[in-house]
Structure 1
């Protein structure tokens, strides 16, 4: 998996909800809010959520933790959606630092957040805009 080249998420995604975090202590509130927002979203006629809320919550936790640890506050988390996908966008105030995918390591050594997100998401990428760096992940709504 490579995040060496910047890429943008789908531009047709509409905002569902957003959160602003200043510290890791707010991650619990983020996860709860994501579950609530996802469960309240209408599904397309051929869609169902399955494991999507859990996958989005795990990805959001990993990306927000990275932003809080390695970026500059505040961390902004946006949940958006297209007709058939949810797009998670996590931004920090450090546009000059490219997200780094950690090299091989034991699971207990940490640093595997981007690997985890890449396993859960349909697509993952990043881009810088103005004073912010965004890392995003897209999750497909499974058909019925």
Structure 2
């Protein structure tokens, strides 16, 4: 996937992506299925997080999912990478990742100790400056949002899981 830049987005697309992060939304109730829980310690550890997540997601795919399954896993890993790196860069410890593998979706919940720092999509940053990860998350997920508690926030996303 290429880099998303402000000039590549229509005003409507930008406004929709930005507004989707602006309100407190309830976290989906993940079913008590297979789950992966990881403590996020540093940006350097995200390579290991990606490997663990990829293995977890791939293990839960139906063998007949084929290329669609591989594409879905790569999209999910990208979403998880964006959310976890944001928690580490812009949040406060403790930060955690929860991924649940449900029959038709993956639910991703990333928490950090900074409820006073909402997810803020980039607006008109210079090319190459980055910061459009929340737009990528909005584009790749079936649902996404943020929920605030007294001492932490939960940034969440639901990704469709391909059937086999």
Which structure has more helix as a fraction of its residues?
2
1:50 positional shift: 3.9
Contact kept? 2:53, 2:77, Cα under 8 Å: yes
Question: Alpha carbon RMSD of aligned pairs, Å?
Answer: 2.3
- Which blocks of at least 5 consecutive residues in structure 1 are unaligned? none
Report what 1:54 is aligned to: 74
1:13 positional shift: 3.1
1:114 positional shift: 0.4
TM-score computed with the length of structure 1 as normaliser: 0.88
Which structure has more strand as a fraction of its residues?
1
The runs of 4+ residues in structure 1 deviating greater than 4 Å are 45-48
TM-score computed with the length of structure 2 as normaliser: 0.78
> Paired residues, what number?
144
Rate the CA distance shift 1:26–1:49 in 2: closer, same or farther, 3 A: same
Question: Which entry has the higher C-alpha Rg, 1 or 2?
Answer: 2
SS class of match (1:64)? helix
Report what 2:114 is aligned to: 94
For 1:96 and 1:105, the matched residues in 2 are separated by 23
Contact kept? 2:92, 2:114, Cα under 8 Å: yes
